[in-house]
Amino acid sequence: MKKSIPRLNKLSPSDYDEGMVGAEFSINKIDSLLHKGSNGVSKIGIWGIGGISKTTIAHTVFKKISNQFERSYFVENVREESEKNTNLTHLRNELLSKLLHDTCPNIGVTCKALNVLIVFYHVTSLIQIENLIGNLDLSLESQIIITTRDKHVLSICGVDDAYMDKVDELREKKAHQLFNQYTFRQYSPIADYMELSKKAVAYTKGLP
């Protein structure tokens, strides 16, 4: 009997757009790049300075599209784990366990028959990706998303320029909208806090 494949329930637009002020463009761009013109495993890169909302964007995209894949996994804190263990053994075993539904995965097992989505968060070198999926045989319908602070890392990891999204600082209007939404639960600040809101937004210099 064929085992059923667990999937995330499809999310409504309100589920992934809530609180996404200023991130909508990146989310839509990444969504439009999925497997467009790809002849094999597709790679998409998200890059930008720290604190620019790469995490929020990556998680939102993951939730939005993961139901399109047979298996999916979000690999957290690649850089931090790499500093603890250069070979990333723990993360690799965890990744394989989730993709293969096996608590003791065999490194030689293939995922070629599976359509998988993998997000690697905070990558700083190609070696990290190689240690995690270096000899993992993925199906041609699979999708890999990499986030990093360094565009060069994406190039080294084999992501084409056309499949990279740079997350920029928020424009002033969007910055005000985001601040007011989280602080006052509305798009405009309370009159008494207008000047304070302007100072807070100016201090952040476009960082969400």
Q: What does the pLDDT look like over 39-90, one tens digit per residue?
A: 567 899 999 988 888 988 999 999 989 998 999 999 998 999 998 888 898 8
In a domain, 4, yes or no: no
Distance CA 136, CA 156 (A): 18
In a domain, 2, yes or no: no
Per-residue confidence at 138, pLDDT binned at 50, 70, 90? confident
Q: What is the CA radius of gyration of the chain?
A: 19
Q: What is the sign, positive or negative, of the torsion defined by CA atoms of 93, 99, 100, 103? A: positive
pLDDT, mean over the chain:
79
Q: Are residues 114 and 98 in the same domain?
A: yes
pLDDT single digits (tens) 156-201: 999 999 999 998 877 777 767 777 777 777 766 667 777 777 777 7
In a domain, 126, yes or no: yes
Q: Are residues 132 and 177 in the same domain?
A: no
Distance CA 205, CA 134 (A): 39
Q: Are residues 127 and 191 in the same domain?
A: no
Higher-confidence position of 60 and 11: 60
Residue 33, pLDDT score: 86
Phi, psi of 166 (to 5 degrees): -90, 125
Q: Where are the alpha helices (DSSP H) in the chain?
A: 13-17, 24-33, 54-65, 78-84, 89-100, 126-133, 151-156, 172-184, 194-204
77, 97, 99: which is closest to 88 by C-alpha? 77
Residue 73, pLDDT score: 94
Distance CA 197, CA 29 (A): 30
Residue 189, pLDDT score: 65
Percent of the chain with pLDDT over 70: 76
Residue 7, pLDDT score: 37
Residues β-bridged to residue 71: 116
109, 100, 99, 18: which is closest to 59 by C-alpha? 18
Q: Are residues 204 and 142 in the same domain?
A: no
In a domain, 146, yes or no: yes
Q: Are residues 189 and 109 in the same domain?
A: no
Q: Are residues 108 and 62 in the same domain?
A: yes
Distance CA 1, CA 47 (A): 43
In a domain, 200, yes or no: yes
Q: Are residues 31 and 129 in the same domain?
A: yes
Total domains in the fold of the chain: 2
Q: Are residues 157 and 100 in the same domain?
A: yes
Higher-confidence position of 41 and 127: 127
**Parent domain of 50:** 13-168
Residue 51, pLDDT score: 83
The domain that holds 30 is classified in CATH as 3.40.50.300
In a domain, 6, yes or no: no
Q: Are residues 177 and 101 in the same domain?
A: no
